[in-house]
Structure 1
Amino acid sequence: MVRRPRKALFGRRPAPPPPVGLAIAAPVGHDTSRSERYLVLRRPMDAPVPASPLPEGSMFAPITADDATAVHALLKAAYDDRFGSVPESALTWWKDLMLDSEYDSNLAVTAKFEGEIVGFCLCWTSSFVKDIAVDARFRGHGLASALLAQAIEKLRKRGADEIVLKVHVHNAIAQRLYRKFGFAQE
């Protein structure tokens, strides 16, 4: 099997394997029940934001009801019972999201490549980063960084003093991303 270089993914559309999100597997034998520990990370708004351009051929788009199934599938794959959970039904997830008092559609953004949702970021009105997920086929190209930079900018415009998020103690990939953006443990 010949492997294409990772950078070719945005130039040519690869055959789609099942999407997997930003999460990594917990160590073998590690209990991944919901009682697991999370780190709470905070970032002051005056911290610098690393340059995070969208990869060529991709674009941001606000979430719409038509995106609910695709975003739900992306989140389910990202969490994959390792670092969080999502309701089984896309309809339940969407209804819960729409009814949540912290939801504002201006704080939910998708990243699309050739019309397909390949990334998603959701922040609550309390300046809490709720979800960031990137399809595994498109990881390593800066999508998560671009989504997080977009979230920071949206929250800055709302007048937030800081941004808060939770990350599983074993999710080293996400922790590296957040620390690159100036998030630090409480």
Structure 2
Amino acid sequence: MRRDLGKDAPDVLLPEGIELRTYSVEWAPPVHDLMQLGHREGGGRVPALDTWQKQFETDPEYDPTLCFIAHDAEGVVGVAQCWTSSYIKNLVVHPRVQGRGLGRALLLHAFEAFKQRREGFVDLKVLEDNLRAQRLYESAGMYVVRRELVPD
């Protein structure tokens, strides 16, 4: 899916009691735990902490200022892991805060960060059967970009 950053976006409104910060190594364990929880709920898997952290922090598109972490008094409740190519790699919201607008706030925050970097678009991938995520992305102004397959 794609979001045209030339179009206005609503203001970012974080749910009450939730703060945003960017990634640093001390946040790796709770971010990893949330990623594992999110992938269990949505499919796929996340490697062990050491492997995940090394892959994440050494990826050529890694920039810690593009990994947005939402937390409250109980811990990490949301993550938007973005790449420098204006791509949202992962967006995970803890089940205990789902339905409060955090996923939308993380998306809008990522859009604003990429707009400040003078990017024209933000992309992400979503499984075709993940209708809940698709509705969230569409509500934030994203639209489906169909892949063109090259015939044999």
Give TM-score, length-normalised by structure 1: 0.74
> Which residues of 2 match residues 67-106 of structure 1 at below 5 A?
67-80=27-40, 82-87=42-47, 89-106=48-65
2:4 is aligned with 1:44: yes
More divergent stretch after superposition (157-166 vs 41-50): 41-50
SS at match of 2:119: coil
Question: What one-letter code is carried by the residue in structure 2 that aligns with 1:145?
Answer: R
Moved beyond 4 Å, runs of 4+: none
The corresponding residue for 1:62 is 22
> Which residues of 2 match residues 138-157 of structure 1 at below 5 A?
138-157=97-116
Q: Is the 8 A contact 1:118 1:135 kept in 2?
A: yes
Give TM-score, length-normalised by structure 2: 0.90
Q: How far has the Cα of 1:52 moved from its partner?
A: 3.7
The corresponding residue for 1:24 is none
**Count of paired positions:** 145
How many Å separate the matches in 1 of 2:86 and 2:2?
10
SS at match of 1:68: helix
Match of 2:68 among 84, 105, 109: 109
The corresponding residue for 1:162 is 121
Question: What one-letter code is carried by the residue in structure 2 that aligns with 1:183?
Answer: M
How many Å separate the matches in 2 of 1:111 and 1:140?
15
SS at match of 1:106: helix
Q: Deviations over 1:136-170 (max 9, x none)?
A: 00011111111111101111111111011000111
Which protein is bigger by CA-based radius of gyration? 1
Q: Is the 8 A contact 1:104 1:124 kept in 2?
A: yes
Q: Which runs of 5+ in 2 are unaligned?
A: 146-152
Question: What one-letter code is carried by the residue in structure 1 that aligns with 2:85?
Answer: S
* Structure with more of its chain in helix, by fraction: 2
Q: Which runs of 5+ in 1 are unaligned?
A: 1-40
How many Å separate the matches in 1 of 2:138 and 2:44?
20
